[in-house]
Amino acid sequence: MSRIAWDSFWELGGTQAFGVEGRAAIELNEYWQKFSQTLNAESVLDLCAGRGAVGTQMLLANSRLSMYGVDYAKVTPESIDGNAAWEEFFSGFDLSKDQLERLGSYDICVSQFGIEYLHREKAFEHFSCLMKPGGRFNFLVHLKGGAIDTMASEKVKELEVLLRSGGVLDTAESFFMGRGSAGEVVHTIQDFIASADKKTKSVSGQVISGIEKLISMTREGHSSIDFFRAFKQRVQNDFQRTESMRHSAMSEDEALSYFSSELTTSVRVEYVFLRDCMEKVALSVRGQKV
């Protein structure tokens, strides 16, 4: 997928991958802290690290670790959580390309909702060079049919309706380009609200609120077309990120097959649950390099 979609996510303050908020984020933070406490003074590489949420939690629990991170997005050093404690962060690095030797090798490799986004034709052997002989890995990957995957599927459907031809965003764009009226936008929004299409405050509510604010700016004499284009791009980026998440989700068998090879041993896949409702949210994949 486009790097732009992820660049904008982290620039806008994203700290964890899609769908990990509230209680789920707290429980996953605890997951990494507990794992970190089992380690000695070892080197750790956080693959697809985003803004470093995983590495930061691990360092909070074990300051003896030497923490490194790598991400495809162009993350600025000052935006990385707890950046002073990290040894090095490789930003704008495409892990799907054959330049992994630049990253070195580590005792431990970790990833939270990241490594599964990479091209599936790149077998796990492609990444094994990042681990020292006997090195271990611990990855949390999106679970197909799990709580986050289900949430993503619903969000994609909602965004598709908002982005479709003749829909809310399409009608608003015509208005801001001088080819329609504010009344037409309002009418389209009202039709959408009255429709049977799924609507949530966090998705449709924010889109409609943003359009209404931009219309108000236009009425006050401000030109809003550039603001609208930037706003629409953010919505499209959100759709693209969420769609890629859905395609990256794995079943238990798929995860076991992908991460098992002649270069790995003791690979095990387990479900990760929300404690209060025992709802499956992810898969934990652990193993060791031969």
> What does 165-195 look like in DSSP terms, one character per residue?
TTSHHHHHHHHHTTSS-HHHHHHHHHHHHHS
Percent of all residues in the chain with a pLDDT value above 90, rounded to a whole number: 50
Which structural domain, as residue segments, surrounds residue 108? 3-145+249-289
172 and 260, same domain (yes or no): no
**Tell me, what's the pLDDT at 223?**
66
CB 115 within 8 A of CB 247: no
The Cα–Cα gap between 82 and 91 comes to 16
Write the pLDDT tens digit of every residue in 88-146.
999 889 887 768 888 999 999 999 998 888 765 555 777 888 999 999 999 999 999 99
> Which residues lie across from 259 on neighbouring strands?
none
CB 121 within 8 A of CB 84: no
Residues 39 and 82 in one domain: yes
Residues whose CB falls within 8 Å of the CB of residue 240, separated by 6 or more in sequence, listed in order: 1, 2, 5
pLDDT of residue 115: 86
| pLDDT < 70: residue spans in the chain | 1-23, 77, 79, 81-82, 98, 119-123, 220-223, 276-277
- Is the model's pTM score more than 0.75? yes
Task: State the pLDDT at residue 98.
Answer: 63
Cβ–Cβ < 8 Å for 7, 71: no
Q: Count helices and strands (H / E) in the chain.
A: 9, 7
Distance CA 91, CA 7 (A): 11
**Host H or E run for residue 131:** strand 131-142
Q: Report how far residue 236's alpha carbon sits from residue 22's, in angstroms, rounded to the nearest whole number.
A: 24
Residue 168 and residue 141 share a domain:
no
Structure tokens at 43: 């080197």
> Is 83 in the same domain as 111?
yes
- Tell me: do 15 and 136 sit in the same domain: yes
Q: How many domains does the chain have?
A: 2
Assess whether 273 and 213 both reside in one domain: no
Q: What is the pLDDT of residue 166?
A: 94
What is the structure's pLDDT at 220?
Answer: 67
- Find the CATH number of the domain harbouring 138: 3.40.50.150
Each residue's pLDDT tens digit, 217-236: 887 666 678 899 999 999 99
Give Cα separations from 239 to 12, 15, 135, 152, 157 (angstroms).
Answer: 15, 18, 36, 10, 9
Same domain, 124 and 153: no
| 83/192 same-domain check | no
133 plus 194 within the same structural domain: no
Q: Say if residue 259 is in the same domain as residue 282.
A: yes
Please report which residue ranges of 44-146 form alpha helices under DSSP H. 53-61
Same domain, 58 and 103: yes
235 shares its domain with 262: no
CA distances from 261 to 128, 206, 234 (A): 10, 45, 39
The residues, ordered by sequence, that sit 6+ positions from 143 with a Cβ below 8 Å of its Cβ are: 149, 249, 250, 251, 271, 272, 280, 281, 282, 283
For residue 21, what pLDDT is reported? 53
Q: Can you tell me the distance from the alpha carbon of 114 to that of 18, in angstroms, rounded to the nearest whole number? A: 10
Percent of all residues in the chain with a pLDDT value above 70, rounded to a whole number: 86
Pairing mode, strands 131-142 and 264-274: unpaired
